[in-house]
Amino acid sequence: MKNRKLLAADFGASSGRMVLGEWDGQRIKTTELHRFPNEPVHAAGTLYWDVLRLFHELKQGIMKAGEFDSISVDTWGVDFALLDRYGALLQNPVHYRDSRTAGMMENLFADIPKERLYEITGNQFMEINTLYQLRAIQVHRPHLLESTDKLLMIPDFFTYLLSGTKLTECSAASTSQLLDAASRSWSEEIIGAAGFPRSLFSEVIPSGTIAGPLLPALREELGVHGAQVIAGAGHDTQCAMSAAPTNHRDFAFISSGTWSLMGTELSAPITDATAFSANMNNECGAENKVSFLKNITGLWLIQESRRQWRREGKAYSYQDLEMLARADDGPTCFVDVDDPRFAPSGDLPGRIREYCRGTGQPVPEDTGAVCRCIYRSLALKYRKTLQQLRHCTGQSYDRLYVVGGGAKDGYLCQVTADACGIPVQAGPAEATVMGNLGIQLMALGELKNLSELRSVVLASANTREYLPGGMDNRYEQFGKYEEQGEAYGTVTHQHT
């Protein structure tokens, strides 16, 4: 082993950062070099990602890093860039929260049955998935597909801009609902049934593949030499999964951020009727592992509520909101955090009040009551998902590992332990970056496997334990309101 300097580009759904990792053969020391917002842009009725601005910020981080051995980019899943035959970007990638996918799931099911889709891909059914975004283009903008030479998932697009190599890394591809979960290659059956051009899709490669050296023009522009570009685990959830602070074989985890990704690690996908009924997700991970998980709306509810309060002239920090939630002692109310009404941006506190009013619950009027409702609803959704996870895998899971930004939220961790009835081990908050850097070390031959990587994380990161208290008596109440919310949603949608 030798000392290495590695650069992690970590782009989340609300912000991005460039982090330098220094490896001394035993531990990874991290230094944040550059942080920047990742704000979507509304233009002419469409919600876009400003990816060229993100690439500009990525280059600023490279210039601050000095010389380094390698770089890898991780991002959110499902979204993609379209390139023409000259390798130029055809349009800014569209944000997964854009409304273009409305009705596209049912449209697609006319070509291939829902059950067959799950049998092939093992992917959770969400309208934001790449498959339904492509169907929306096919229906509304077919000329765009006719002009497209290659589709690259967002992390692969940045790998291409850095190295000039067009490839598809497995973890990013596995968020698309177009990947065969067993063969880890594009599903010819789905692509054919949907009528997409097969030429759009480049070869799927394993996580931790070296894409090539940094482009000569970039080396000259940015003043660096010799760095390798590594297609690590492009989907940030799989980076976080790789850095779970445990060497136990069977463990339950939550990667907690804008989304909560809750699940476990398996050696093979589960696509049977039980998993289909629970709408569980199978994703490719590092070392050919499978992340068997559920996508749950996470701290988006707090983030977007905070933006709404800011629009109203109330500037709260996240710490302020956590304290207000802790201090609130009003009547308990719950929402289904995955209700479609909470997906778009806008007045989330108003929608939460509307939901509670429509389901006959106490209405949370002030800021603390809204935040308490969100936190407790998340915790009880985690409990429900843990039960589904146990049912699908046959494992008991006596501890829950919470990594990512949500690990810093002590109130959320505590109510999660209370609701799930098992200890919560929180941290590291920087799991995504640690996983990104660790997978680079695996690609460079400095670490042998995930077990070694997780041992490094255990040696390098601090964690905190939260023991369960008493929230079991709230679960039955939550289930009742969740069912009422589904019925209320049906009635609401019939009148809109």
Q: How far is CA 201 from the centre of its chain?
A: 22
Q: At 364, list the tokens.
A: 């949370």
Cα–Cα distances in angstroms (integers) from residue 180 to residues 54, 189, 279, in the given order? 31, 9, 17
Positions marked catalytic: 236
C-beta neighbour count of 439 within 10 angstroms:
31
Answer whether 15's CB lies under 8 Å from 37's CB.
yes
CA atoms within 13 A on the CB side of 243: 32
Cβ-Cβ contacts under 8 Å for 92 (sequence gap 6 or more): 41, 48, 49, 50, 51, 52
What is the SS3 assignment for 369?
Answer: helix
Strands 464-466 and 290-297: unpaired
Answer whether 292's CB lies under 8 Å from 237's CB.
no
For residue 102, what are the β-bridge partners?
none
Residue 127 identity (one-letter amino acid): E
Q: At 446, list the tokens.
A: 């400095």
CA atoms within 13 A on the CB side of 183: 12
Helix (H) and strand (E) counts in the chain: 19, 21
CA atoms within 13 A on the CB side of 89: 17
DSSP state of 201: B
**Closest to 402 measured CA to CA, from 439, 438, 431:** 431
Cβ-Cβ contacts under 8 Å for 426 (sequence gap 6 or more): 402, 403, 407, 408, 410, 413, 463, 464, 465, 466
Euclidean distance between CA atoms 8 and 31, whole angstroms: 10
Q: At 370, list the tokens.
A: 């809204």
477, containing H or E segment: helix 475-494
Euclidean distance between CA atoms 198 and 296, whole angstroms: 31
Q: What angle do CA 47, 50, 56 make, to 5 degrees?
A: 175
Q: 3-class secondary structure for 395-434?
A: CCCCCEEEECHHHHCHHHHHHHHHHHCCCEEECCCCHHHH
